[in-house]
A = this chain, B = another copy of it.
Amino acid sequence: MRNSVITLLTDFGTKDHYVASMKGVILSMNPRCTLIDITHQVSPQNIKEGAFLLALSYSYFPKGTIHLCVIDPGVGGARKPILLVTQNYFFVGPDNGLFSLVAQREKVKQVIVLTQSKYFLSKLSQTFHGRDLFAPVAAHLSLGIPPSAFGYPTHSWVKVLFGKPVIRDQKLLGEFLHIDSFGNLISNIDERLFSTFTKGHPVTIQVGKKKLHTLRKGYWEGKPGEPIGLFGSTGFLEISIREGNAHKTLNLRRGDPIIVSRISQS
C-alpha cells in the first residue's frame, strides 16, 4: 500500500509552484508513493474539460491508484471536498461535477465528505485546498487510512449532465467535447451509439460546412490535408486531418455540432 500511485490532474499550469507544493506535501507524508501527472493544463476552471480528460485516462492506471483532481473555482466557499471510492480507484477533489463522467463508467461504492481536519495541513488556506487539504488526504489514503476515517458518507453529491448526443428527425446530433494538441476534434458520440443508430447503413457526417461520406479506420487512410472521421483511441467519433490540424483547418471549436445522417436508400 505504501508503494501506491497518485495521479494529479489540475488547471494549475506548470510555470508556478502550485503543483510542486502539492507533491512536496505528499512526499513529506509518504516518500514512497509514485506521482504521475495526468495534466495541469486543463483550461482554467473548466470542470467539464477536466472531467473528460480524467474519464479518458483513469482506467489505464493500476488498481488502487489515487486520482487527485483539483479544478476548483469555488475553493474556500460552500462546495464540499470529497473522496469517491469505486471498485478499483479512489478519486479526491472538490464536489463540483469533476467526477460526473467517471461515475457513469465506474461503480461508485461510497462517497465521503472530507471533514477530519487532522488529515489536512495544520494551517488551511482559503485559496489552495489542493495543497492544504486534498494532497494530504491523498497521501494519508496512500498510507492505508480507510476512507471512512476522513469524514462522513453522503449520497448527495454533484453529478453534472454533460451534453449527450440526441437522435432527432433521423439524425444523430452530437457536439465536440475536446480538441487535442494535434487539432483532432473529439465528439461525444461513442461507438456503441453510432452502431445502434446507423445499423450498418452508409452515412454522411456533417461538420461545419464539410460533409464526409465514409468512416476511416486509422489516420493513415486519409490523404494529407483531407478531413476524415474515425473512432480514435478514445472510443469517441473524432474528426482528424492526416499530417494537418482539423481544428484550425475546419475552424471548429469545442461545443460545435457534429451531425450523422443515414443515407436514404430509396
- Please report A residues at the B interface, Cβ cutoff 8 Å: 3, 5, 7, 12-18, 20-21, 23-25, 27-28, 31-32, 34-42, 44-45, 53-54, 56-62, 65, 73-78, 125-128, 131-132, 178, 180-182, 217-221, 230, 232-233, 242-243, 245
Check B57–A24 contact: CB distance below 8 A: yes
A12 to B37, CA, bound (A): 14
State the oligomeric state as a number of copies.
Answer: 3
Q: Assuming A125-B233, A217-B126, A243-B73, is B27 touching A36 (CB within 8 A)? A: yes
A23 to B34, CA, bound (A): 11
A245 to B15, CA, bound (A): 16
Q: Assuming A24-B36, A218-B75, A220-B77, is B45 touching A243 (CB within 8 A)? A: yes
Check B56–A21 contact: CB distance below 8 A: yes
Please give me the residue from chain B that is nearest to A128 by CB atom: B233
A161 to B94, CA, bound (A): 40
Contacts of A126 in B (CB 8 A): 217-219, 230
Contacts of A232 in B (CB 8 A): 125, 127-128
